Chain A
Amino acid sequence: GNSVTQMEGPVTLSEEAFLTINCTYTATGYPSLFWYVQYPGEGLQLLLKATKADDKGSNKGFEATYRKETTSFHLEKGSVQVSDSAVYFCALRGRDDKIIFGKGTRLHILP
């Protein structure tokens, strides 16, 4: 079945550091791929998405490129801020109606 694997956390970085959170997936067909973010005490917010191979999703300085050849959708940001501290979930939606989430990666940004 479909699955998502993302790097274990927590990830701790200093402000203005470069961020990469790795995500790989297993799916039949051509899934849509997402990154969701969960700030402390809040619900899930869609951060960015990509619906086909080589698409790049971007939002708030974050980017991720849909790589079919490596079945990956790594999240990157060039310069993180303290306000980016949150849990980040990689996710996919296949041909059925449900979203499959990774386990989440907790990100701590130190001032």
Chain B
Amino acid sequence: EPEVTQTPSHQVTQMGQEVILRCVPISNHLYFYWYRQILGQKVEFLVSFYNNEISEKSEIFDDQFSVERPDGSNFTLKIRSTKLEDSAMYFCASSPPDWRGTYEQYFGPGTRLTVT
């Protein structure tokens, strides 16, 4: 069964460094998302992406964050200058074209980002 994959599974970085989290969505999907889960807290929406542009973003997704689909398969989240509070589990998700409008999202296993 096709699944969303994410790399790396765990990333440790120093405060102020740039990180890129990578995701490979399911191949025929058209909608892509990033969520994050700070340890012990709820999963929060960051951004959605469709047709090579951001369709919605949350207040968390400030100028330090960017997303890109550099080729036909990868979907990346870049954090330009990491802060301690960026430490979290980051989940990528993708969604197929769905004429019924139920928009089921399929989640990857997550990348745990630790900022020291």
Query: Of all chain A residues, which has the CB nearest B111?
Result: A43
Partner of B42, one of A32, A45, A102: A102
Known: A100-B45, A101-B43. A43 touches B33 (CB 8 A): no
- Which positions in A face B, CB cutoff 8 Å? 32, 36, 42-46, 49, 51, 89, 91, 93, 96-104
B96 is an interface residue with CB less than 8 A from chain A = no
Return the contact of B107 from the options A43, A51, A100, A102 (Cβ within 8 A): A43
Known interface pairs A43-B108, A45-B107. Does A97 touch B41 (Cβ–Cβ under 8 Å)? no
Q: What are the residues of chain B within 8 A of A97 when measuring CB–CB?
A: 31, 33, 48, 50, 55-56, 103
Q: B107 contacts which chain A residues (CB < 8 A)?
A: 36, 43-46
B41, B42, B58: most-surrounded residue (chain A CB, <10 A)? B42
What are 11 A-B contacts defined by CB distance under 8 Å? A32-B103, A43-B107, A44-B43, A44-B107, A46-B107, A97-B103, A98-B45, A99-B33, A99-B45, A99-B93, A100-B45
